[in-house]
Amino acid sequence: MMLHIPNVLTPDQVARCRRMFERAGWVDGRVTAGAQTSSVKRNLQIPDDDPEALECGQMIVAALHRSGLFMSAVLPLRILPPMFNRYDEGMTFGSHVDNAIRRIRTTGETMRTDVSTTLFLSEPEDYDGGELVVEDTYGTHGVKLPAGDAIIYPATSLHHVTPVTRGARISSFFWTQSLIRNDGRRSLLFDMDMAIMRLNQDHPGHPSAVQLTGVYHNLLREWSEA
């Protein structure tokens, strides 16, 4: 499932992160690249332990937990602390698939990457190129969202970032281990959750909403890895 999550961060929060990043020390993005991606990755990143990155990352995670759409679609078990990258003119990231396992630096734990997220911190008009292009069973999708908005998609997807030809594209990227490993099952639960919410809005107190809610939670109980 690929889903646009609008307004994860407010304009004030985006501006705050951008101001912090002016003080941050950007380094070659290949420092976090694996063998597969190091040859196709050309961007800049902020080191994981940079105080500015940690503060902005905590802001993003708190905002995600307030997003009903993100919580319903992703059903997060663990969220890797957000990282930040920048693509200046001529920078790009070739086609790749994200690593299946990542290490959480602060705890030393490892986690499975089920869902990839990119949260845009530059406005679309501030740069040319720089689209996130995701390939899935339904075709190829180019993504370039307003600052503060996020896109989620299965971490199993082949994807790339097109070359930036003007300006700079700044974003946050991170992964989530879901309670539900299988993307198809996550999609079914998300669709059911959305249908239940619409039913409750259109017919408050309808007995069918209670029954469907029970089915939703029993499926979640059956499929969850928690």
User: Could you tell me if 11 and 38 lie in one domain?
Assistant: yes
CA gap 76, 137 in Å, rounded: 23
User: Could you tell me if 31 and 110 lie in one domain?
Assistant: yes
CA gap 112, 115 in Å, rounded: 9
User: Could you tell me if 199 and 162 lie in one domain?
Assistant: no
Q: How many domains does the chain have?
A: 2
User: Could you tell me if 48 and 113 lie in one domain?
Assistant: yes
Q: Whose CA is closest to 144, among 132, 156, 152, 157?
A: 132
61: phi > 0 → left, psi -120 to 50 → alpha, else beta; which? alpha
CA gap 142, 180 in Å, rounded: 26
pLDDT digits (tens, 9 = 90+) for 38-70: 789 999 999 988 999 999 999 999 999 999 999
pLDDT digits (tens, 9 = 90+) for 77-108: 999 999 999 999 999 999 999 999 999 888 88
- CATH number of the CATH domain containing 95: 2.60.120.620
Query: 70 is written with which tokens?
Result: 């993100």
User: Could you tell me if 52 and 126 lie in one domain?
Assistant: yes
CA gap 103, 198 in Å, rounded: 38
Strand 115-120, strand 110-112: pairing: unpaired
User: Could you tell me if 94 and 112 lie in one domain?
Assistant: yes
b (16+ CB within 10 A) / e for 45-74: bbebebebbeebbebbeebbeebebbebbb
HSE (side-chain half, CA atoms, 13 Å) at 48: 11
User: Could you tell me if 154 and 197 lie in one domain?
Assistant: no
User: Could you tell me if 40 and 87 lie in one domain?
Assistant: yes
What was the pLDDT predicted at 105? 84
Q: Whose CA is closest to 30, among 76, 72, 92?
A: 92
The DSSP line for 97-130 is ---SEEE-TTT--EEE--EEEEEE-S-GGGEEE-
User: Could you tell me if 161 and 190 lie in one domain?
Assistant: no
- Domain span at residue 212 reads 183-223
Going from the first residue of the chain to its last (226 residues), give the mean pLDDT of each consecutive group of 10, the final group possibly shorter.
97 97 90 70 93 95 98 97 97 95 90 98 98 90 97 96 98 98 97 97 95 98 93
CA gap 16, 84 in Å, rounded: 14
Query: 212 is written with which tokens?
Result: 């469907």
User: Could you tell me if 26 and 124 lie in one domain?
Assistant: yes
- CATH number of the CATH domain containing 209: 4.10.860
User: Could you tell me if 47 and 154 lie in one domain?
Assistant: yes
HSE (side-chain half, CA atoms, 13 Å) at 176: 25
The number of helix segments (H) and strand segments (E) in the chain equals 5, 17
Q: Give the global pTM.
A: 0.94
User: Could you tell me if 147 and 44 lie in one domain?
Assistant: yes
What was the pLDDT predicted at 220? 98
